[in-house]
Amino acid sequence: MNGRLDRAEIVIVGNGIAGITAALEARRLAPEKRIVVITSQLHPPIHTPALKQFACARLEREQLLVHPAGIERQQRIHVITSRVEEIQAQSQYLLLSGNRPFHYGKLLLATGSVPQGLPETLPGQHFDGVLTLHRLRDYLDLRRRLPTVQEAVVIGGGAHAVETVMTLLYWGIRTHWLLRGEYPLSRQLDAQGGALVRETLHRAGAIIHQGIEVVDIVGRIGVVVGVITNQRKMIPCQLVLVCTGSRPAIELSERCSMPLCRQHGILVDDLLRTNVPNIFAAGDVAAIRDPQTNRYAPRAQWYAAGEQGRIAGAMLADRPDLTRPPLGVSWHATHLGELSLLIAGNPHLQYPGIETLTDASQGGYRRLALFEDRLIGYLSLGHIQPDSLAIKRLIEEGHSVRPILKALLKGDVDAHHYFARLQAPPVQALPLINSQPERQRLPITGKLALTPEQLPLLAGSSPTGPSPKVPAGSSAYSHHTLWSYLEQKERP
């Protein structure tokens, strides 16, 4: 081994926000353990959501750093720049590039996500000037090119595409936005909300092409000069920006000697344990449980990745007792040009018994999903961002929202005031592992996180718990049982 470091009690693959947060938390809780981060990334962790400000030259590279430079050394966290190629789970070691073995006591997979990019069969995608935006080097490339670009094409319909269109408009570039559907963010918004985003970007100057797909990218002497659409139209441009979303980076988990269960991402329980002993997953690569629907999927968001990093750090340090409460309902807040978007819980859940209310006043759009008098999902799009964490808390604690329904619909609820006046304790808590029915309970201290028998239950999209025997409003009435209850109700 040439005296090289070849083992550590705690090994983390990936130094994104999930990986670095886990490393720092593990160091805090386990001052004596050797912690090693192995990453293929050539720079310290950066604040990925701020890359759009970097593209607008509002931030410089140094300002993207999540932590002061050198924090790893200061915290005795050893960083190895290498790619992990394989996991030998029975003998607990990794194979790094060049066949270098590295032994672990506990392993965290925080390998993040990779961009979807364009279909491999699409001609012309390798011309100079066709960029997929995902990592820092893509944005460095973009910034170098922007001063010479007059006309650009953006492909993709998610929040990333919206932000990219706004960046190009900021630089005064004539921007074509190609949408496959009729409106953007079709996974997060309904038609009304999507139309509002589309109109806002249209007013900002974007040339929007709806129901369009690129069938060819045209180049001249190796450099892009335009795209051809399925409507046989040529759009000239000097830059094509691909923002077609991302998917969990599960390639390493596919090269594990003991099969790691996956469903969209690597399946984990509420304490981020995979089905393989001593292996955890966190961040964009981990498929975690939505407490409202019991479906497993990654929450590919900055805040969620950091929170998972904290839980993973406690688990790696052998301190499950110090893990924070479960992540709770999904929650996402961002800016789409001049619009603020907040989505908490499941505003699009449609089931007998669920009431949907919408409001489109004041130049914005709100959508509420209610079950009896409790909020189970909230969507807000407009010029004002409601207090997003307070809305999340409203959903998780299950208080009656009747007294503030109008304000919620108008998007101007004063949640602090509401909570301050609230006398009643939370009606319901999010289901914790130990509140699950016996056969779905996962051992916290056991060596093997999930048994093979438990995995089909985890992977299932509907819970197996009994239907509630208590009326709505009782303290035993959890989101978990709510879902069961709705399913029961629907049965003949």
Ligand X SMILES: Cc1cc2nc3c(=O)[nH]c(=O)nc-3n(C[C@H](O)[C@H](O)[C@H](O)COP(=O)(O)OP(=O)(O)OC[C@H]3O[C@@H](n4cnc5c(N)ncnc54)[C@H](O)[C@@H]3O)c2cc1C
18 binds ligand X (CB under 6 A): yes
Window contacting ligand X (CB under 6 A); options: 109-117, 207-215, 384-392, 394-402 = 109-117
Residue 211 to residue 314: CA distance in whole angstroms: 47
Q: What b/e string do you get for 446-481 counting C-beta neighbours within 10 Å, with b at 16 or more?
A: eeebbeeebeebbeeeebebeebeeebeeeebbbbb
From 24, 64, 89, 134, residue interacting with ligand X (rule: CB under 6 A)? 134
From 8, 27, 36, 41, residue interacting with ligand X (rule: CB under 6 A)? 41
274 binds ligand X (CB under 6 A): no
Q: Which is closer to ligand X, CB of 124 or CB of 347?
A: 347
Burial class, 85, CB count within 10 angstroms (exposed 0-12 / middle 13-18 / buried 19+): middle
Which three-class secondary structure state does DSSP give residue 345? strand
Q: Which is closer to ligand X, CB of 41 or CB of 454?
A: 41
- Shortest distance in whole angstroms from residue 190 CB to ligand X: 21
Window contacting ligand X (CB under 6 A); options: 28-36, 301-309, 342-350, 373-381 = 301-309
- Shortest distance in whole angstroms from residue 217 CB to ligand X: 21
Q: Which is closer to ligand X, CB of 13 or CB of 339?
A: 13
From 26, 30, 36, 38, residue interacting with ligand X (rule: CB under 6 A)? 38
227 binds ligand X (CB under 6 A): no
The residues in 151-180 that bind ligand X, with binding defined as CB under 6 A, are 160
- Shortest distance in whole angstroms from residue 406 CB to ligand X: 30
Residue 2 to residue 221: CA distance in whole angstroms: 49
Which three-class secondary structure state does DSSP give residue 105? strand
The residues in 324-363 that bind ligand X, with binding defined as CB under 6 A, are 334
From 10, 24, 102, 111, residue interacting with ligand X (rule: CB under 6 A)? 111
Q: Which is closer to ligand X, CB of 15 or CB of 92?
A: 15
149 binds ligand X (CB under 6 A): no
Q: Which is closer to ligand X, CB of 227 or CB of 305?
A: 305
Copy the structure tokens of residue 114: 């990779």
User: Which helix (H) or strand (E) is 20 found in, with range?
Assistant: helix 17-29
- Shortest distance in whole angstroms from residue 348 CB to ligand X: 19
Q: Which is closer to ligand X, CB of 305 or CB of 327?
A: 305
Residue 173 to residue 304: CA distance in whole angstroms: 34
Q: Which is closer to ligand X, CB of 106 or CB of 134?
A: 134
Q: Is 375 within 8 Å of 368 (Cβ atoms)?
A: yes
44 binds ligand X (CB under 6 A): no
User: Which helix (H) or strand (E) is 199 found in, with range?
Assistant: helix 191-204
Residue 282 to residue 113: CA distance in whole angstroms: 11
19 binds ligand X (CB under 6 A): yes
On the CB side of 107, CA atoms within 13 Å amount to 29
From 75, 186, 301, 400, residue interacting with ligand X (rule: CB under 6 A)? 301
The residues in 45-64 that bind ligand X, with binding defined as CB under 6 A, are 48-49, 51
Residue 377 to residue 371: CA distance in whole angstroms: 9
- Shortest distance in whole angstroms from residue 83 CB to ligand X: 4
Window contacting ligand X (CB under 6 A); options: 12-20, 212-220, 256-264, 436-444 = 12-20
Instruction: Single out the residue of 392, 443, 445 nearest to residue 419, CA to CA.
Output: 392
249 binds ligand X (CB under 6 A): yes
Q: Put residue 411 in one of left, alpha, beta given phi > 0 → left and psi -120 to 50 → alpha.
A: left
| Alpha-carbon torsion, ordered 220, 226, 228, 234, to 10 deg | -110
| First-residue to last-residue Cα distance in the chain | 67
Which residue is it, tokens 């001593």?
278
Q: Is 347 within 8 Å of 378 (Cβ atoms)?
A: yes
Residue numbers at the binding site for ligand X (CB under 6 A): 13-19, 38-41, 48-49, 51, 83-84, 110-113, 133-134, 160, 249, 252, 283-284, 300-303, 305, 334
